[in-house]
Structure 1
Amino acid sequence: MAYAIQWLRSLVYIIMVYVSIAVVGIVLFPWALVSRRGARVACMSVCRFVRWAAPWMIGLKTEIRGTPPDYECIVASKHQSFLDVFMVFSAVPAGKFIMKRILMYSPIVGQYGLRIGCIPVDRGKRSVAIKQMVDGVKKGTATPGQLIIYPQGTRIAPGVKAPYKVGTAVLYEQLNQPCVPVAANVGLFWPKRGIYRKQGTAVVEFLEPIPPGLPRDQFLSLLEERIETASNRLNEEAGFHAPH
């Protein structure tokens, strides 16, 4: 019975999240079209609603630890579900993502993404996309801020091992910006798929920045070590122990 009640609460919450995206997206769309600030206010409003509603609707608290960067940098985040997207974006002042080009054609999400400075990429053409983005930043055409990227490329469930892709290292090398690793345990409570959301405290933690200038292999190794070590610690803190 308790599971069924929590499942229903989760369903209502998810519906409310999508309703908030639609309502905020439509109401603030005219402002977003003429002002990047309008687009960012809309995106931040949705993120804050997601975090505000979660404790009383589904019993899920969200906690951000560490010091989110307020300077230009790469934010390399553990990615376990959509919840970490909302949490990381809400924690930084000028976040932007690398997004799939197909999302550009979405009437709301795509336009907001472009307005806040996200960089559309063709799936399977990551090397081309990285070059275009690096060129854009160097020419001053890209929107300044914190570039949020997922080093493993997709959502990875807690306890599952997946390689860290070279794209993050190429960006780090060519942009010559510090990289802020981010650990998370949110997948324990908000899974990659399904309706059910668990009660508890989902955490994302901003870790010590990696300064620019390290060799590519050394950077990737350090990035993986910091994110995985901290994420495992957060998982264990929540009562999860990865199988050996």
Structure 2
Amino acid sequence: MLQWVRSILYIIQVTIAMPIIGLAFAPWAMFSKTGAYTACKTYAAWCMWSARWMIGLRCEVRGKVPDGEVLVAAKHQSFLDIMIIFHALPRAKFIMKKEILWTPVIGQYTKRMQMIAVDRGKRGKAIQKMMDDVHAGRIEPGQIVIYSQGTRVAPGVSAPYKVGTAVLYGQLGQPCIPVATNAGYFWPRRGLYRRPGLAVVEFLDPIEPGLSKDAFMADLEQKVETTSNALLKEGGWQPNA
């Protein structure tokens, strides 16, 4: 019962903190992408720091965090893994659903940081537009982050890896950094309960350019799923838990 109370109080305070931090940084963010990034990294840091003492949830980044132009193909289980990845990367450019652009506070900041909004009903055209923007220089260099399964997937649930990641890998000609996580066990997709423990995001060895689509997708899925499952077991997750 005490952990439920802590969880609810935590959710309330991070919800309130978002507009406060967003408004505090707004004058700087309006004229500077650096200001926008700083604001969002500050919010992510606050969420992770306050989770440690409010709900007993620690966050850890493992592996070599890339700082150059790479494709980051991540496992997505929770809002928490977004914050950890964003805080860790120098210049993350998330591929996200278009509807987020209209979200108060978050939407304005994602536009300012030139995140890549995708119309889910027109994914092929959206990816091509993104590639056109990158090659035309309208999007500054950074780490392009894609969630290869296209949505949050709860621990123990199987979902296919979508071909869009392979398309980007082939067209960009950059290394792809697989990313595994166990964040969904501690911060589930639905519900208010937040479990104490150690949430990990792990950057894995790069997949170098040049693989065929099928070989790349098989390698990516094997690396991400194997490591994510190991992290889940390390964190105490059990099937049907």
TM-score if structure 1 supplies the norm length? 0.95
Which segments of 5 or more consecutive residues in structure 1 lack a partner in the other structure? none
The alignment status of 1:98 with 2:95, answered yes or no, reads yes
Instruction: Please show how residues 189-204 of structure 1 align to structure 2 within 5 Å.
Output: 189-204=186-201
In the TM superposition, residue 16 of structure 1 has moved relative to its aligned partner by 1.1
Q: Pick from 133, 138, 143: which aligns with 2:140?
A: 143
- What is the identity, as a one-letter code, of the residue corresponding to 2:66? P
The corresponding residue for 2:163 is 166
Asked if 1:11 corresponds to 2:11, the answer is no
Q: What residue in structure 2 maps to residue 217 of structure 1?
A: 214
Normalising by structure 2, what TM-score?
A: 0.97
Question: Structure 1 stretch 105-114 or stretch 66-75: which is displaced more?
Answer: 105-114
1:149 is matched by which residue type in structure 2? I
User: What secondary structure does 1:28 align onto?
Assistant: helix
User: What RMSD, in angstroms, separates the aligned Cα atoms of the two structures?
Assistant: 1.1
CA distance in 1, matches of 2:230, 2:5: 31
* Alpha-carbon distance between aligned partners in 2 of 1:232 and 1:93, rounded to the nearest angstrom: 27
Amino acid in structure 1 at the alignment position of 2:39: A
Q: 1:51 aligns with which of 48, 51, 70?
A: 48
**5 Å matches for 1:86-125?**
86-125=83-122
CA-to-aligned-CA distance 1:37-89 (integer Å, 9 cap, x gap): 00000000001001111110001111111111001111111100100000011
Deviations 1:77-126 (A, max 9, x none): 11001000000111110011112222223342111001112011222111
Quick check: 1:227 aligned with 2:224? yes
- Aligned counterpart, 1:85: 82
**Aligned partner letter, 1:76:** A
**Structure 2 equivalent of residue 206 of structure 1:** 203
Q: Output the CA distance in 2 between the equivalents of 1:96 and 1:104.
A: 14
Equivalent in the alignment of 1:63? 60
* Residue of structure 1 in register with 2:151 after alignment: 154
Secondary structure of 2:120 counterpart: coil
1:23 aligns with 2:24: no
Distance in 2 of aligned mates of 1:120 and 1:67: 27
Which one-letter code corresponds to 1:40 in the other structure? Y
User: Are the structure 2 counterparts of residues 28 and 162 from structure 1 closer, same or farther at C-alpha, using a change threshold of 3 Å?
Assistant: same
**Paired residue total:** 240
Tell me the secondary structure at the aligned position of residue 27 of structure 2. helix
Identity %: 54
Cα distance per residue 1:15-53 (max 9 Å; x no partner): 111111110111111211100000000000001001111
Per the alignment, residue 186 of structure 1 pairs with: 183
Aligned to 2:69: 72
Residue aligned with 1:34, SS: coil
Query: What is aligned with 1:127?
Result: 124
Looking at structure 2, the residues matched to 55 and 63 of structure 1 have their Cα atoms a distance apart, in angstroms, of: 11
Alignment deviations for residues 147-196 of structure 1 (CA, whole Å, 9 cap, x no partner): 11100000001111111000011011111111100000111110001100
Q: Supply the distance in 1 between the matched residues of 2:34 and 2:214 (Cα, whole angstroms).
A: 38
**Secondary structure, counterpart of 1:17 in structure 2:** helix
